[in-house]
Amino acid sequence: MTEPAIKYRLIKKEKHTGARLGEIITPHGTFPTPMFMPVGTLATVKTMAPEELKDMGAGIILSNTYHLWLRPGEDIVEEAGGLHRFMNWDQGILTDSGGFQVWSLSDMRRIEEEGVHFRNHLNGSKMFLSPEKAIQIQNKLGPDIMMSFDECPPFYESHDYVKKSIDRTSRWAERGLKAHANADRQGLFGIIQGAGYKDLRQQSARDLVAMDFPGYSIGGLSVGETKHEMNTILEYTTPLIPEHKPRYLMGVGTADSLIDGVIRGVDMFDCVLPTRIARNGTCMTSKGRLVVKNAQYARDFRPLDEKCDCYTCRNYTRAYIRHLIKCDETFGMRLTSYHNLYFLLNVMKQVRQAIMDDNLLEFREAFFEEYGFNEE
C-alpha cells in the first residue's frame, strides 16, 4: 500500500452544526479547511500574480483540464515540468476533469458509454473526451488533486435520465481510477451526482465511496436550483461521505452559500464568480454587492469595503476604481479581483475561527444581518 497523495486531518467539529475544521495535506503544502479555492482556468487566476494569491492566504487554486488540453496542450505543460512550474505556483493545485466544461462550453455534444463527442468552443473542431483521456491529461498536467470525468445533468432532468446518468458516471469513475498512473503524488476525487433526487444522490455516494477515493466532490449544484434545494441536498449528502475524507462542493462562490455549505459539512469550494464579476466592477463586500461603476460612486472616496484591510481597500477609493473600470483599465480589474478574492478568503478565515469557538450560527446571523441577505 502506497501512502495516499492527499490526506485530510479533522481537527475539530463545531458543536452546534455539521461544520468541521481541518487541514488537507498535499504534495505542495498543507492548507486549512474550510477553504475557498480561486479559479485559474487557463493556468492563471485572471489578473493576479501568484505572490498576490499567496499573500492573501490562498493555499490552493483550481485549473481546468478542458481549457489546458486545448491550449497550450498538456504535452507542453508536462515539458515545462508540470502546471506548478509552468505557472510559478508552488502551493496546491486542483484541476476539474473537463466533464462540466464540455457540457457548459462546447457545441453539439453527444454522450456515449465510451465518452463525449463535441465541438470545441474555439474553432468548432470535433473532439472526444473519455474518462481515461481526462485522467491521462491530468496526469500530465500534474495537479495535486484531480477530478473524475462525470456528467452533470440538468437539475430538473427526469429521475429515469438521472438514474442512467449516475450509473454511467459511476462506471466512468471506476475507469478513471484504473487509468490513474500517479496515485502516489496526485489524489483523484470521485464526484457525487444525482440532481435533486435523494435516492440517486445516496446511490451515487454509495457507488463512489465503495471505490475508496481520497476525497469526494459534490457536483450538479448551483445550476439553477434554489438555495433551499441545495442546502437540503448537502444536508443528506455530506453524512454519506466518510468522516476522514474531504468534501468539495463544486462551483459555489457566494459568501452566503459558503457559510451555509460549511454548516452542512463542506470543506472546499471553488467558483469563477469573485474574479468574473470583479472584471466588470462588481465587488463583494460585508454589506453585499457593490457595483462600483454606478454613478453614485463617482465622488465616493471611501474604500470598496470599509471593513476590509486588503491591499485595494487600504490604498484606493471607490471613485478611482470606478474611473479605471469605466475606462477598461486593467489595473481596475486587478484591484477589484484582489479585493473579491481577499473578501471570500477572509470570510472563510472567520468561519474557521467561529468553528474553533463553537459559535458559527451566531457568526452566520451577524454576517447575514449586515450582508442584507434574504432567504430564497
Query: Quick check: 249 binds ligand GUN (CB under 6 A)?
Result: no
CB of 233 within 8 A of CB of 162?
A: no
96 is known as an active-site residue: yes
CB of 40 within 8 A of CB of 83?
A: no
Cis peptide before 72 (omega within 30 of 0): yes
For 91, the grid coordinates are 502551493
For residue 347, the partner it binds in ligand GUN, Zn ion, none, with Cβ less than 5 to 8 A by kind, is none
Radius of gyration, alpha carbons of the chain = 20
CB of 338 within 8 A of CB of 52?
A: yes
The 80-99 contact track toward ligand GUN, x by CB under 6 A, reads ----------------xx-x
Three-class SS state of 31 = strand
Tell me the closest approach of the beta carbon of residue 97 to ligand GUN, in angstroms.
5
| Through-space distance between the first and last CA atoms of the chain, rounded to whole angstroms | 48
CB of 227 within 8 A of CB of 376?
A: yes
Query: Quick check: 219 binds ligand GUN (CB under 6 A)?
Result: yes
Count of residues interacting with ligand GUN (CB under 6 A): 12
Query: Quick check: 260 binds ligand GUN (CB under 6 A)?
Result: no
For 67, the grid coordinates are 481549457
CB of 264 within 8 A of CB of 18?
A: yes
Query: Quick check: 256 binds ligand GUN (CB under 6 A)?
Result: no
For 175, the grid coordinates are 475507469
The window from 14-22, 144-152, 159-167, 326-334 that contacts ligand GUN (CB under 6 A) reads 144-152
Instruction: Give 220 or 303: the residue with its C-beta nearer to ligand GUN.
Output: 220
Q: Which residues of 208-238 are buried (b: 16+ CB within 10 A; e: fewer)?
A: bbeeebbbbbbbbbbbebeeeebbebbeebb
Instruction: Give 17 or 204: the residue with its C-beta nearer to ligand GUN.
Output: 204
Of 39, 283, 310, 351, the residue at the interface with Zn ion (CB under 5 A) is 310
For residue 99, the partner it binds in Zn ion, ligand GUN, none, with Cβ less than 5 to 8 A by kind, is ligand GUN
Tell me the closest approach of the beta carbon of residue 164 to ligand GUN, in angstroms.
16
Q: Give the E-state strand segments of 105-147 in sequence order.
A: 107-111, 116-119, 126-129, 145-147
Of 100, 216, 297, 371, the residue at the interface with ligand GUN (CB under 6 A) is 100
Minimal CB distance residue for ligand GUN:
219
For 371, the grid coordinates are 450582508
Of 68, 70, 195, 250, the residue at the interface with ligand GUN (CB under 6 A) is 250
Neighbours of 374 (CB within 10 A): 7
335-354: which residues touch Zn ion (CB under 5 A)?
Answer: 339
CA angle 307, 58, 10 (to 5 degrees): 100
For 266, the grid coordinates are 463542506
Residue of 150, 267, 270, 305 with catalytic role? 270
Residue of 96, 150, 207, 256 with catalytic role? 96
Tell me the closest approach of the beta carbon of residue 2 to ligand GUN, in angstroms.
26
Pairing of strands 116-119, 107-111: antiparallel
The window from 21-29, 36-44, 86-94, 146-154 that contacts ligand GUN (CB under 6 A) reads 146-154
Instruction: Give 99 or 274: the residue with its C-beta nearer to ligand GUN.
Output: 99
What separation in angstroms does the CA of 36 have from each of 216, 253, 308? 16, 8, 18
The 337-376 contact track toward ligand GUN, x by CB under 6 A, reads ----------------------------------------
Catalytic residue ranges: 96, 270
Interaction site with ligand GUN (CB under 6 A): 96-97, 99-100, 147, 150, 152, 191, 219-220, 250-251
Interaction site with Zn ion (CB under 5 A): 308, 310, 312-313, 339
